[in-house]
Amino acid sequence: MIVFLDTEYTDPINTDLISIGMVSEDGQRVVYLERSDYQIAWCNKFVREAVLPQLGRCGPAVTRAELAVRLTAWFATLPRKVVIACDSRTDWILLLDAMNNAPPHNLVGQPFDLRSLIDSSIFHRAVVRYHEQHGPWHHARHDAHAHRAGWMAWMDARKGKSRAMQGKFHCASDFDES
């Protein structure tokens, strides 16, 4: 199962997790948590203006210790093999850090890097459309859902190309070079 991840954090230099959002590929499993004990003094100007005003709308914030417990419990509800998809290595590092660098057994391998798809017009249009219809940018829950929307659009486009190619070939001899 693919799980789309996004985080918001204080600053790229003095990095402390503020919020984390994840959604499964099927859209049925979602977790969004905000921390109550992040280092507010480390927040840069962008975070103070774009991220902090959006906090507090999705339930009470939790401490770092409670965050680890809730993330572990959420991962326990997922299938045996989970691959994270995110657009930033920082998101991955912050997820592992939030779980005290003790990832669950069902979290496999390295994350899938969505940055290779971001420049795709199909992916980008789907992300923009998600944000226009459902929620603001720079909110971990909405950004994770937007990543999923972009991925789904990209995958659907690939399926369409694959079907179109299949329609051009009617038998094995159509592939012959001779």
Q: Give the pLDDT of residue 161.
A: 57
Task: Answer whether 34's CB lies under 8 Å from 44's CB.
Answer: no
In a domain, 163, yes or no: yes
Q: What is the pLDDT of residue 133?
A: 92
Contact 21, 140 (CB under 8 A): yes
Taking only the tens place, the pLDDT of each residue in 97-120 is 999 999 999 999 899 999 888 767
Q: Is residue 73 part of a domain?
A: yes
- Domain with 34 in it: 2-167
Give whole-number Cα distances, 50 to 55, 137, 138, 147, in Å. 10, 8, 7, 19
pTM: 0.86
* Domain of residue 131, CATH code: 3.30.420.10
More confident residue, 135 or 5: 5
In three-state secondary structure terms, 34 is strand
Give the sign of the dihedral formed by CA 103, CA 105, CA 109, CA 113: negative
Phi, psi of 111 (to 5 degrees): -70, 155
Average pLDDT over residues 145-170: 70
Q: Is residue 174 part of a domain?
A: no
Q: Indicate whether 138 pLDDT > 50.
A: yes
Quick check: is 91 in a domain? yes
**Domains of the chain: total:** 1
pLDDT exceeds 80 at position 160:
no
31-to-6, 19, 130, 142 alpha-carbon distances in Å: 11, 11, 18, 11
What's the whole-number mean pLDDT along residues 7-35?
Answer: 97
Q: Give me the helix-helix angle, 64-76 and 89-98, nearest 10°.
A: 100
Q: What is the pLDDT of residue 159?
A: 78
Q: Would you say residue 95 lies in a domain?
A: yes
